[in-house]
Amino acid sequence: MGERFYSDARLYDRLFPGGERAVDFYRAKADRQGGSVLELGCGTGHKLIPIASDGHPCTGLELSSDMLAEARGKADERATAVDWVQGDMRRFDLGRTFDLVLIAANSLLHLHETADLLSCLRSVRAHLAPGARFIFDVFNPDVRLLAGADGVRRPRDGLSFFDPDRGDVRVDVAETYDAAAQVTRGTWYFSTDLEPDFVVAPLELRSIYPQELPLLLSQAGLRLVERFGDWSGRPFTGDAAIQLCVCEAD
Ligand SMILES: C[S@@+](CC[C@H](N)C(=O)[O-])C[C@H]1O[C@@H](n2cnc3c(N)ncnc32)[C@H](O)[C@@H]1O
């Protein structure tokens, strides 16, 4: 599920430093919805800490202890209260409901088995207060890109970064696509001139196809009410990069 990939939370934050439009989107949704927020797979709190700093009571559920420790440290530095919970989004029971449940940045795609996806979505449904919303974003599978995943290691464009502890870091990725499982199986290589491949981490992400997505939701008692194709709220179309989904209890 990518445990190794998420075992160095600082490296993860340096690899993906931006995403401000996503933060703004989720923040605005939390403000419009009002009330309490639960994020599943909250990572280092990239979205949840800003939402909590806006005054929403927030809970973050995360599998990786390293990501959670980093999230806790960042929230403490900002004197922002968040209820951090180590847990597995495949099945969880927090004993309460929320006004907004989020799964951001493809976190849902770490669940490869349909049974796991459904059990996660049913747990989400059980945690929705009356009138609550469930919002998540996953990439829109591009069959041309998936077909090009040939297992060859290549530099990943735009993902080199500067690490204050190590210097300039290059990122190479080798990916294949398992069409039967709908899973992209990648290996990510992080290197500096002095330390080639100082981290080599598998990362495997399922694809959820546009026609499949509402069916999965409906099986879990959820209804897709809006699907956007980008962070500006453009309606979803086949060439969109993401599926940004707003759901309610059915
Ligand atoms: C791509 S990161 C996204 C982190 C954060 N949501 C963000 O937007 O920056 C995916 C996160 O999902 C977590 N994760 C993966 N599988 C999980 C599971 N079964 N239960 C809870 N968290 C999980 C990973 O540990 C990782 O922190």
pTM for the predicted model, two decimal places: 0.96
64 Cβ closer than 6 Å to some ligand 1 atom: yes
Q: How far apart are CA 87 and CA 214, in angstroms?
A: 26
Nearest CA to ligand 1 atom 16: 110
* Ranges of each domain in the chain: 9-140+208-249, 143-206
206 Cβ closer than 6 Å to some ligand 1 atom: no
Residues 6+ apart with CB under 8 A from 120: 40, 89, 90, 91, 108, 111
For residue 103, what pLDDT band results from cuts at 50, 70 and 90?
A: very high
Mean pLDDT (the chain) is: 95
Name the CATH topology of 9-140+208-249: Rossmann fold (3.40.50)
pLDDT at 2: 64
8 Cβ closer than 6 Å to some ligand 1 atom: no
124 Cβ closer than 6 Å to some ligand 1 atom: no
Do 110 and 2 touch, CB atoms closer than 8 A?
yes
Distance 242 CA to ligand 1 centre (A): 17
